[in-house]
Amino acid sequence: MSSNKESFNQISPSEFFYRNRDLAGFSNPTRSLYTAVREFVENALDACDQAGILPDVYLSIKAVDDEQADPKPYILTVKDNGPGIDSKHIPLAFGTVLYGSKFGLKQARGMFGLGATMAILYGQITTNKPVEVKSSTDGQSQDEYELLLDIQKNKPIIVKHKTKEVSKRGLSVSIYLEGDYSKAGAKIRDYVYQTSLITPYATITFEDPKGEKFHQTKIVKTMPLPPTIIRPHPHGIDVETIRRMMVDSHFQIPTVDNKMIEKVRKELGLKKKNLNYSEIMEKASKRWNGISRHVRVVIAVMSFLKMDFEKLSKIRIDDMDIANKKLVYWDFGESKSVSIDLDPESEYYRQLTNTIQGETLLSFLTKRFQRIGQATAVKFTEFANLKPEKRIGTMTNQELVKLSDSLQKFEDFLSPDPSCLAPLGEEPLKKGMEQFFKPDFLEVVQRGASAYSGFPFIVEMGIAYGGEIKSVGQTVYRFANRIPLLYDEGSDVVLKVVNEIDWTRYKVKNDAPLVIVSHICSTRIPYKTVGKENVADRPEIERELRLALQFLARKLATFMSKRGQAEMEKKRANLYSKYIPLVAQFCTELAGKKKEPDYKKMLKMEAMVEE
Amino acid sequence: MKNKSKKTSKTSEERRESLSRLLQEQGLKIYSELDRGEFPKFSVPSRSVSNIVYDKKLRQYILGNTASIRSTRNMSQLRSFTQLIWLAFFANKLVQEKKSSTLRDIYYSSQAFSIDFEDQPESDNIIVDLEAVLARPREDLHIFPEERSSVFGDLTIEYTVPGYEGKRTNLSDHPDGYLIGPSLSSAELVDTSAELVIAIEKGGLFTRFVEEKVDKKFKAIIVDTAGQAPRSTRYLLKRLHNEMGLPVVILTDGDVYGEHIAMVIKSGSANAAHLRELTVPDAKWLGVWATDIEKYKLPTIPMTESDIKRIYDLQKDPRYQEGIWKKELEVFLKIKRKAELEAFSKYGLTNITDKYLPEKLEIAKSL
C-alpha cells in the first residue's frame, strides 16, 4: 500500500554520538566548554591515580581571537604528568569513539572514556581543526599527533605525526572548540577550585582567557590506595544477578567427542586396550579416586548408556533431564534419537545430578560472594530456610526469589569489601579543608562501607566552622568519586539530608558560617539525571549521609558549647574586673574609709561561680 | 501663730543626718562584704504589682514583704548593682555638699564614672531602687524632677543650702509665688500665721487666688500642684500639715483625674508605694465634685472613653470604696460629663473665691 520505504542503516558510534551530543553535555557553547574541561581534567587525574603518580595537571583556555565576542573559538589544553599513552594506541584512543581502557569494574571518575572523544568530536565539528596530542611514556621521546575523526567510519585520520626528544613524561591534549567563556567561566572556576579541594594530593594550575591564574599546590603527598576489582556483596543482589552468576558457575556436561574418549582411556590406563562395557566399569570403580571430574561424568553417562568406547563414539548426547530422569542421545549409526531412563538407585546417578545441578548452595555462597565464609553461609541458609546442600541448578524460581530476598535481609554479613573503592581518606580530606577554609573548627569522618543494589559505597564528610569562613549559613560542597557536583543541587540527596538536620539541637545558629564537604564513592553513583550533577536519594545512601552528618554535628556541638563556656568566662572576667573596682571605690567613700577593701582575691574566683 | 511644735517630724537637719548615717551603713556593709571576699548584695523591696498592697491603717499604698536580692554574684545583676552603689555614693556627695541635681543630671553625671546607663529611664529606675532600699524619697537625696510647682502665703522659712544658711524669707514676698525647689524643700519651716493650706490643681487659678488675696481672706497658704502633685510638693504639704499643724484642702477640676489628684495627695500613689513620707491622710478634697456640677449649674464638656475607663479602674481601688470618694465616682459615671475649675468664670471671675470656696470650706468642716 505504502510506497514509503524506510531504510535501516547501521550507524557508527561516532555518528550516533554526533547526532545525540546533547546527551553527553555538548548542547551549547557554554555547556560544551565546561564539559570539555571536565572530561580532560578527569581523564588526566584518573590516569595519574591508576599509575600511582601524584598528579600535576595544567589547564589552559585561550581565545583564538581576543577581540571577538562570545561565543567564539577557544584553544583548550590539558597537560598532565601521568603515564602517557603508547604511540600506537594514540590514534585509536583519540580518533575513535568507544575506545577506552575504563571498562573495568572499579571506582573511577569517568566511565569508559567517552567524554574526551566527545569533546574532540565537538571541537572538530565547530572549528574543523584537528586535535593535538603529545604523549611521552618514558620521559625521553614524545609522540606528537594531529588527528581528525572520520565520523561516518569511526576511524582516525592522522594529519601529522612526529617524534621529539623531551625530558618529561605525560600527556598533553589540545583542542580547538567553540565556547562561551564569559558564561561558562564561573562554572569552570568553581569546578577547578572544588576539584583541588577533593584532590589535595594534586597540583592543579588553571590559566583562563584573561590571563588570570589559579594555582593550588598539593597539600598532601600521599595518594589514596588504588581500588581493586572484587566479587559482589550479598546485600546488593537481585534475582537476575543470581541467575547470571549461576550460569557462570554451571558445570557443563563435557562433550563426549574422540578427544574426550582419549582422555577417559588414558585416565583408566586403557590407552591401547579395548575392553567391553562391564570391564570398563569395573576398571573405573577400582581407579575412581584417581580420576578427574570430567572423566567421572563420562563414566557415569556410560553406566546408563551401557556402552563401550566404540559405541560411545557413535552417539551425541542431546539432553539430560534430571527432573524426569531421562537421557536423550542421537545415534549416528541408526540415525535416530534415543531416550533412556535414568535409574535413580544407581550409584552413578548422584554423580550425574551433582554435575548437572551445579554446586551446592553452601559452596555457591562462599565462592561467589565477598564477605561470606563457611560459618556465615550455614547461618544464612538457616535464616533463609534453604537447605545448604541444595544444588543451585535445581532451585525453582520461587526459591531463587527467596534466596535473593534473604540475601538482602540477612544482617550478619560484614559490610561490603571497600577495596574496590578509593575514598580520599580522613587525613587528606582534613588537610585539604584546613588549607582551603582555615576554620576554627574542623572535623571529618569516613563511614564504613555500605551497599545499595549490590554496589558498595563509602560516604566521607567534613564540617568546618568559623575562622576564615565568612559565609552566612551553610555552604555545601558535593563530590561523587572525587568529581565536584556543581549544579542541580535542589534535588540532591546530600542537600536533602543537610536541610533536614535541626541545627539548633547542635547549638548552631542557622546563619553560622559553616562548610560541609560531602564525598560519595561508589562503583556506581546513582545519578538522578544524565547531567550527573545530583545524586538520587537511595535510602541506604541517605542513611549513611545522615549518620555522618549527625556524627560531625555532635562534634561541632561539643566545640560550640566549650567555646560558649569560654566566651562566657571571658565575658564574666571582663565584667567583674570592670565593675568590682568601681563597687570598691564607691563603698569606700560611702563608708568613709581611706583604704579600699581587698577585692583582688574576688576577681580570681569569679570564673568558678555558678550562675 | 508661733513656731509650731515639731511633734511628728524631724527638722531638715535631722533628716539629713539620719540619711547620711543610712548611706554610711550601706557603704560599710558592702565594704566589709568585699573585704571578706563575699559577693556584696542589696535587698531591694519588690515594686511589682503583686507586692503593692493597701494599708488601711496608714491609709496609703505600701510595699509588701517581698524583696529581691541584687547580688554581684549574679553576672546579669552586676551592672545594676554597681549603678545602685554609684548612685548611693553620688547622692551622699550631694547631701554632704548640699547640692541638688535633677533626674537628667544623674543620667549625665553617671557618664563621668563609666557607669553605663543606657538611657534616662534606666537611671530613673535605679533612683527608685535606691529610694526603696533606703525607704527615703529622692528629694531627700537632693535629686529633683524637672517639673516644679509653687507656693504662696505667709510662711517664713530658713534656708540650709550653701551660701544661704540662716537666711530667712517669707513666701508672701513675691506675688508669683515661690518655686518648690531643692532649696525650699531643704529649708526649715520657721513660722506662719496661716491656718489652712489650699492646694489647687491649676496655675491660672493659683494666680487668681493670689490676686484675690485668698491668703489673707482665708488665712491660707496657697500651693499650685500643677496637675498631679510632684513629690516635692506632696512632701511640702505633708510638712505644712505635720510640722505647722495646718489642715490641707484640695481644689481640682471636676473630673475623675481631679478626684485622683486629691487622692494621691491624701494617700499616695502606687508608683511611690515604697515611700511613706509623702502623704497627708487628713487632707480633704473640696471639689469640684460631680455633685457640684449640677448644684452650681457649671458649663460641662462630655467625658471621653478613656475618662470613663479610668472611673471603672478607680472603682476597683480600695480607697474608693467609701464616702465622697465612692459617691462622686458614681455620679461622674452617671452624668458622663466633666467641668473645669475655670467653669466658675461663667458667673464672674471672682465667683469661685467669693462664693464657691467659702461654701465648700464650710462643708469640709463636716467631712
Whether the predicted pLDDT of B42 surpasses 70: yes
* DSSP letter assigned to residue A123: H
Residues B116 and B209 in one domain: no
Q: Is residue B162 part of a domain?
A: no
Q: Is residue B214 part of a domain?
A: yes
- For A:568-607, CB contacts with B below 8 A are 571-572, 575-576, 578-580, 582-584, 586-593, 597-599, 601-602, 605
Selected residue of A570, A574, A576, A583 to mutate for chain B interface (largest B Cβ count, 10 A): A583
**A584, A590, A597 member nearest B26 (Cβ):** A590
A341-367 pLDDT, tens digit each? 888 888 888 777 777 677 788 888 888
Q: Which CATH architecture has domain A418-560?
A: 2-Layer Sandwich (3.30)
Instruction: Using an 8 Å CB-CB cutoff, list chain B residues near A578.
Output: 114
Quickly state the pLDDT bin for B151 (edges 50, 70, 90).
very high
Size of interface A-B (CB pairs under 8 A): 86
Residues B225 and B327 in one domain: yes
A138 CB burial (10 A radius; 0-12, 13-18, 19+): exposed
The answer to whether residue B19 neighbours chain A at the CB level (below 8 Å) is no
Average pLDDT over residues B321-326: 90
The predicted pLDDT at position A22 comes to: 72
Q: What b/e sequence results for B181-196 when a residue is b if at least 16 CB atoms lie within 10 Å of its CB, and e otherwise?
A: bbbbbbbbbbbbebeb
* Range from A151-160, A347-356, B296-305 that averages highest in pLDDT: B296-305
* Range from A266-270, A358-362, A496-500, B362-366 that averages highest in pLDDT: A496-500
Instruction: Using an 8 Å CB-CB cutoff, list chain A residues near B28.
Output: 587, 590-591
B44-64 pLDDT, tens digit each? 888 887 888 888 888 888 888
* Range from A59-73, A152-166, A309-323, A451-465 that averages highest in pLDDT: A59-73
Kindly identify which residue of chain A lies nearest to residue B83, measuring between CA atoms: A583
Selected residue of B24, B35, B94 to mutate for chain A interface (largest A Cβ count, 10 A): B35
Contact B169, B191 (CB under 8 A): no
The answer to whether residue B72 neighbours chain A at the CB level (below 8 Å) is yes
Could you state, in order of their start, the residue ranges of all structural domains in chain A?
Answer: 17-216, 234-248+359-409, 251-356, 418-560, 561-608
What number of residues does chain B have?
367
Instruction: Output the domain CATH number for residue B255.
Output: 3.40.1360.10
Q: Closest Cα partner for B172 from B123, B103, B221, B115?
A: B221
Instruction: Output the domain CATH number for residue B89.
Output: 1.10.10.10
CB contact under 8 A, A582 and B115: yes
Average pLDDT over residues A397-403: 87
Count up the domains in chain B and report the number: 2
CB contact under 8 A, A590 and B88: yes
**A578, A587, A602 member nearest B37 (Cβ):** A602
Residues B130 and B206 in one domain: no
Q: Closest Cα partner for B311 from B330, B324, B338, B284?
A: B330
Q: Is residue B151 part of a domain?
A: no
Kindly identify which residue of chain A lies nearest to residue B92, measuring between CA atoms: A590
CA distances from B245 to A192, A293, A375, A540, A544 (A): 96, 135, 110, 94, 90
Whether the predicted pLDDT of A226 surpasses 70: yes
Whether the predicted pLDDT of A305 surpasses 90: no
Residues B200 and B348 in one domain: yes
B211-263 pLDDT, tens digit each? 989 999 999 999 999 888 888 899 999 999 999 999 999 999 999 999 999 99
* Range from A12-16, A607-611, B2-6, B70-74 that averages highest in pLDDT: B70-74
Average pLDDT over residues A52-75: 93
**A572, A591, A593 member nearest B75 (Cβ):** A572
Instruction: Using an 8 Å CB-CB cutoff, list chain A residues near B23.
Output: 590
Whether the predicted pLDDT of A576 surpasses 90: no
Can you say how many angstroms the Cα of residue A21 is from the centroid of all Cα atoms in its chain? Answer: 24
Q: Is residue B268 part of a domain?
A: yes
Average pLDDT over residues A317-323: 74
A239-293 pLDDT, tens digit each? 877 877 776 555 556 677 888 888 888 888 887 778 888 888 888 888 888 888 7
Residues B122 and B219 in one domain: no
Comparison of pLDDT for A61 and A237, the residue scoring more: A61
Lowest mean pLDDT among A7-11, A25-29, A232-236, B268-272: A7-11
Lowest mean pLDDT among A187-196, A463-472, A488-497: A488-497
Kindly identify which residue of chain A lies nearest to residue B33, measuring between CA atoms: A597
User: What is the full DSSP assignment across A559-573?
Assistant: HHHHHHHHHHHHHHH
Query: In this predicted complex, what is the ipTM?
Result: 0.71
CB contact under 8 A, B72 and A583: yes
Average pLDDT over residues A144-172: 89
Contact B332, B255 (CB under 8 A): yes
**A578, A580, A598 member nearest B35 (Cβ):** A598
Q: Is residue B246 part of a domain?
A: yes
Quickly state the pLDDT bin for B144 (edges 50, 70, 90).
confident
The predicted pLDDT at position A19 comes to: 73
Q: Closest Cα partner for A125 from A21, A6, A217, A237?
A: A21
CB contact under 8 A, B81 and A592: no
Whether the predicted pLDDT of A521 surpasses 80: yes
CB contact under 8 A, B85 and A575: no
Quickly state the pLDDT bin for B318 (edges 50, 70, 90).
confident
Fold of A234-248+359-409: Helicase, Ruva Protein; domain 3 (1.10.8)
Average pLDDT over residues B61-77: 86
Can you say how many angstroms the Cα of residue A18 is from the centroid of all Cα atoms in its chain? Answer: 27
The answer to whether residue A608 neighbours chain B at the CB level (below 8 Å) is no
Kindly identify which residue of chain B lies nearest to residue A588, measuring between CA atoms: B31
CB contact under 8 A, A575 and B73: no
Kindly identify which residue of chain A lies nearest to residue B37, measuring between CA atoms: A602
Instruction: Give the sign of the dihedral formed by CA B301, CA B302, CA B306, CA B311.
Output: positive
CB contact under 8 A, A587 and B27: yes
Residue keyed to cell 565576542: A69
Catalytic residue numbers of B, as ranges: 108
**A572, A597, A609 member nearest B35 (Cβ):** A597
B185-200 pLDDT, tens digit each? 889 999 999 999 999 9
Comparison of pLDDT for B261 and A397, the residue scoring more: B261
Quickly state the pLDDT bin for B154 (edges 50, 70, 90).
very high
Residues B110 and B220 in one domain: no
- For B:42-71, CB contacts with A below 8 A are none
Bridge partners of A171, per DSSP, are A135
Residues B119 and B249 in one domain: no
Average pLDDT over residues B141-165: 87
Residues B251 and B125 in one domain: no
Average pLDDT over residues A554-574: 86
Whether the predicted pLDDT of B81 surpasses 70: yes
Residues B224 and B321 in one domain: yes
Mean pLDDT of chain A: 84
**A575, A588, A601 member nearest B78 (Cβ):** A575
Average pLDDT over residues A485-491: 76
Bridge partners of A175, per DSSP, are A76
Residues 6+ apart with CB under 8 A from B36: none
The predicted pLDDT at position A487 comes to: 75
The Cα–Cα gap between B232 and B241 comes to 14
Average pLDDT over residues B299-319: 90
How, if at all, do strands B52-55 and A336-341 pair? unpaired
Contact B210, B242 (CB under 8 A): no
- CB-CB neighbours of A255 under 10 Å: 10
- For B:109-138, CB contacts with A below 8 A are 113-115
Residue B97: domain span? 12-144
Does the domain at A17-216 match CATH 3.40.50.150? Answer given as: no
Residues B41 and B138 in one domain: yes
CA distances from A3 to A6, A8, B119 (A): 10, 16, 97
Lowest mean pLDDT among B87-91, B134-138, B208-212: B134-138
CA distances from B110 to B14, B116, B126, B141 (A): 28, 7, 12, 16
Lowest mean pLDDT among A458-467, A480-489, A517-526, B172-181: A480-489
Instruction: Using an 8 Å CB-CB cutoff, list chain A residues near B93.
Output: 589
Quickly state the pLDDT bin for B9 (edges 50, 70, 90).
very low
Residue keyed to cell 478626684: B259
The predicted pLDDT at position A3 comes to: 45
